[in-house]
Structure 1
């Protein structure tokens, strides 16, 4: 019985070490992002749950490169009734001259009261060669977005994004997928 408990304890310890080792390793980002090519519209295919997107069934992001090298952000979210909500903000490099890790800060009352405190990580983890798909997350793997240039992607592109996310250690079983247009109320497309 003592050996069984000791074996069980060692197994739990090793499992804890393995998961904490993965947790302590930040996901790998792409080498660099050509922000000029990255700008434009991206459609969210799936995401890990986020509180501010709790009522979203379809989301899209519009990025515009600004003269100062930062990126203007316009996020749009459609709820199940077809109503759109918008949030505007700015993305800026976390390290000068590097474009794989950005800070995003939205223009709202919290960021006005506490400037710099409400910045969120926006790490580009994967980017298709033709800039048609992207995988974006944050260092602690709590947030993840599977993005594409088109509202709908084929199964091969979907599987590729899922595989890339799993390789980076993200829990893809919790993903919330985009609601197809066919399931939206009529007149909201």
Structure 2
């Protein structure tokens, strides 16, 4: 797949840099009583802060599955501006306890970046995720679209937590919204 290598290298470089900083952004608390089995499966990217490794991608999704070694397989994919699919495969592990939504993700060798689920509805249908600082933010959903009220709730919470919400990109999932 054309573009997948450059996306993977870019994502690996980003995670390499963030691995040096590491940790959680101040004031971000990962969800407790996290159930990984319920989190597995496909998530659609509703909104994100822009980064080179995802720039121009639409129809972005992530699929999480459990590996035999207990780690989590991460498969990110999106449609680039040329209409070609771009994929990046990585792995995740828990940063601390397995019942906390705080993971480390790697798409490049031994270098891991922060993946902190800081809001998750009780049905595991929507999640807010941060990286190791406030320049990384994602709104994920089990469905490719959400209501305007859900988008506004995400914006309000992210704004209250100090994320630059004016820079949010709402992802085109190819459904005309």
Matched, 1:35 2:36: yes
Matched, 1:177 2:170: yes
Residue 43 of structure 1, CA deviation? 0.3
DSSP 3-state at the match of 2:115: strand
More strand by share: 2
Within a 5 Å distance, the mapping from 1:28-67 to structure 2 comes to 28-67=29-68
2:86 corresponds to: 85
Matched, 1:151 2:144: yes
Asked if structure 1 preserves the Cα contact closer than 8 Å seen for 2:30 and 2:100, the reply is: no
Tell me the TM-score normalised to structure 2 length. Answer: 0.79
Q: For residues 51 and 84 of structure 1, what CA distance do their matches in structure 2 show?
A: 16
Alpha-carbon spacing, 1:31–1:58, altered in 2? closer, same or farther (3 Å):
same
Question: 4+ residue stretches of structure 1 with deviation over 4 A?
Answer: none
Residues 147-179 of structure 1: CA deviation (Å, up to 9, x unaligned): 100011111221222222223221111011112
Q: For residues 177 and 98 of structure 1, what CA distance do their matches in structure 2 show?
A: 30
Asked if structure 2 preserves the Cα contact closer than 8 Å seen for 1:27 and 1:139, the reply is: no
Instruction: Extract unaligned runs of 5+ from structure 2.
Output: 1-24
Tell me the TM-score normalised to structure 1 length. Answer: 0.74
Instruction: Extract unaligned runs of 5+ from structure 1.
Output: 1-23, 185-189
Q: For residues 40 and 182 of structure 1, what CA distance do their matches in structure 2 show?
A: 21
Asked if structure 1 preserves the Cα contact closer than 8 Å seen for 2:47 and 2:168, the reply is: yes
1:128 corresponds to: 121
More helix by share: 1
Q: For residues 51 and 26 of structure 1, what CA distance do their matches in structure 2 show?
A: 26
DSSP 3-state at the match of 1:156: helix
Asked if structure 2 preserves the Cα contact closer than 8 Å seen for 1:26 and 1:139, the reply is: no
Residue 83 of structure 1, CA deviation? 1.5
Q: For residues 140 and 105 of structure 1, what CA distance do their matches in structure 2 show?
A: 16
Residue 51 of structure 1, CA deviation? 1.4
Residues 41-50 or 78-87, more deviating: 78-87
Q: For residues 47 and 86 of structure 1, what CA distance do their matches in structure 2 show?
A: 17
Q: For residues 79 and 96 of structure 1, what CA distance do their matches in structure 2 show?
A: 36
Alpha-carbon spacing, 1:48–1:155, altered in 2? closer, same or farther (3 Å):
same
Asked if structure 2 preserves the Cα contact closer than 8 Å seen for 1:94 and 1:102, the reply is: yes
Aligned residues: 153
User: Cα RMSD over matched residues?
Assistant: 1.9
1:14 corresponds to: none
